[in-house]
Amino acid sequence: MPTYVYSCQDCGNQFESLRSMKDSDTPISCASCHSANTFRRLTTCNVKSNSADSGFNESNKSGCSDCQGGSCSNCGH
């Protein structure tokens, strides 16, 4: 289950909750004041990849010789 970040419109508290995707926008009680006047905040995920570590580079955009059109443990393609 993903972790979502919520804000309380009554007290301004921000808190996280582990919830199913289908319940992500259902109101949840504030962890501080217990108000149900909350909303899910937009969050981002930042993933950084180092192409030197993965064996994948600009000159080899199709991957390595082991790639079979799926996930490749050698080049990360």
User: What share of the chain in percent tops pLDDT 90?
Assistant: 47
Name the more confident of 45 and 67.
45
Answer whether residue 22 is part of any domain: yes
Indicate whether 31 belongs to any domain: yes
Give me the domain span that covers residue 15: 3-40
Q: Per-residue pLDDT averaged across 3-18, rounded?
A: 95
Q: Using one digit for the tens of pLDDT, what is the confidence trace for 36-60? A: 999 999 887 767 776 555 554 445 4
In a domain, 9, yes or no: yes
Q: Supply the pTM of this predicted model.
A: 0.55
b/e burial code for range 17-52 (CB count within 10 A of at least 16 → b): bebeeeeeeeebebeeeeeeebebeeeeeeeeeeee
Contact 38, 30 (CB under 8 A): yes
- How many domains are there within the chain? 1
Cα distances (Å, whole numbers) of residue 62 to 7, 73, 74:
43, 14, 13
